[in-house]
Structure 1
């Protein structure tokens, strides 16, 4: 791309960022409204990419110096140039930065959800229609004791799910492992991320089929629901973060592959910090519910409430922000 064309296409964004920075620099970041703060973050990512592109094409030194100064000013504002204290920054991370990055990366998240739920649905169908398929689709050391317990002994419904604490602890531990494997798998071009999503989708769908077909489906879902909704959401976000990293490698766009990887890794880092916090919350809920004998209806209600709260947290506020467009490549 010729330098003149590049400047013509991008100059409006640079000037907008400069105007916002001037306002903030005259006082503090608080001088900007919430939408303008989010816009500064978006424009900062753009100008960082533009600087890398201009450097890569060896454009005029004056242009590169201008972009470098603009990037430095935006970086100082976004990452420490404000008068916010530590508590305010933490609050801003959880109320703005993290949920907005999830929304921005939503197509990666949707792909992760499909790669998890499609195998889950397939496993459920295949085992529901032919129970022996469980020995093909699921690990044998998992299927044998569950199958024996469900079909060869007289369980009380409240004990159906392996013993609720046992199943609950297994699922929680597995989900934590899955989340971080799916995230790290982004560095393998996403192959490991895809593999762990498919494998664990098969496991969840297969377990559901075994318990539902044995008449213990309600107990199964009631055991998972209180903490599982948050955990499974965290897993999809972690996997989406892994796919964001893979996207930087596979589809760098206008940037050099290294620069695209660095940019996307920063985005993924925001996501995985949020995921870790979600898993802490889920663990706290699991620790409260597992030792207690709450009725299934209460457990299911808690799961439903957490699902609603997650939608309110991630979707509703961000869907109203036109500047937070889904971004699958930049």
Structure 2
């Protein structure tokens, strides 16, 4: 193939496709012309690749085709309405639909932590298996309360936010496997239970709850939501129902991503509470009250906005245009 002659012969068609592909609106005749040119240029690209594979020409034609495809399918732009739809419809509806999973996860986890905490508090030999007497005194008298004031407020909020977001991300990322989520929850609850048990055994139970509850209620709720969403994702391919496993997994995975994105904001709120409210000079009842109000606000968000959105059919999944074709199901 004489590439120069080929380019000269078809340059006009390519230039016309480029012009049409850049327009925001097309008339009916222009849309038909665009599709016709798209098919012809796609053929030209195939011929160039097989007859004279010049990288520059191939890249140029590929770019033209991509622009034309965007023009034909329509351009989608981000807008504040999309953000509002996510915050008021998609995220709360997805949380509501997954409520049984994360509420059950929360109930089981809290019960396990309470049992372990009481066991640690009542058995000095168990405490010594985790911490030496010197380490216990250092923790009780200095490290526990000092942890919340060792950094500046903004730096500490960022540190807490990223750490908790990482834990939540792990729960969601390991959702397909299932078992790692249980291990993550066990490690998290064990740490809290041992810490609480040691503090209680040394007469510091009040201090423990004063520093844990303001941020911990919402923070742990976010972790439980992430874990519940991950377990729900795991169950979607174990028991897919009438759908193919791959379709059930794909649907739940997309909805789980919605939860993952939304939890970033929830964990940011809990991180700010931990950085600015937990170590503050406010009385204990005020600090705990702020944490309780944050949790009430979250639950109201889920069970009022989320329920309302779910009843209208919102699932948290992406739009049909972004979904792959699904096979017919039975039932």
TM-score by length of structure 2 reads 0.62
Q: Cα distance 1:257–1:144, how it changes in 2: closer, same or farther (>3 A)? A: farther
The corresponding residue for 2:221 is 233
Aligned partner of 1:187 among 167, 170, 176: 176
- Ranked by relative contact order (alpha carbons within 8 Å, sequence separation 6 or more), the top structure is 2
Report what 1:304 is aligned to: 292
From 110, 131, 136, the counterpart of 1:147: 136
How do 1:188-267 residues align onto structure 2 when only pairs under 5 Å count? 188=177, 190-267=178-255
Partner of 1:175: 164
RMSD of the alignment, in Å?
Answer: 3.5
| Correspondence list, 1:1-330, <5 A | 86-136=79-129, 140=130, 146-149=135-138, 155=141, 161-165=145-149, 175-188=164-177, 190-289=178-277, 292-319=280-307, 323=311
Q: Distance in 2 between matches of 1:197 and 1:246?
A: 15
- Cα deviation, residue 246, structure 1: 0.3
* Partner SS for 1:207: helix
Structure with greater Cα Rg: 2
Which SS does the other structure have where 1:255 is aligned? coil
Aligned length: 238
| Residue 38 (structure 2) aligns with | none
Distance 2:132 2:241 in 1: 45
**Structure 1 gap segments, 5+ residues each:** 1-79
1:315 deviates by: 1.9
Is the contact between residue 98 and residue 274 of structure 1 (CA under 8 Å) also seen in structure 2? Answer: yes
State the Cα distance separating 1:320 from its structure 2 match.
6.2
Tell me by how many angstroms 1:238 deviates. 0.8
Partner of 2:23: none
Q: Give how far 1:105 is off.
A: 0.9
> Is the CA contact 1:118–1:201 (under 8 Å) kept in the aligned structure 2?
no
Contact between 1:241 and 1:268, CA under 8 Å: does it hold in 2?
Answer: yes
The superposition leaves residues 218-261 of structure 1 with CA deviations (integer Å, 9 ceiling, x where unpaired) of 22222223322221111011111211220122111112211111
Distance in 2 (alpha carbons) for counterparts of 1:143 and 1:96: 51
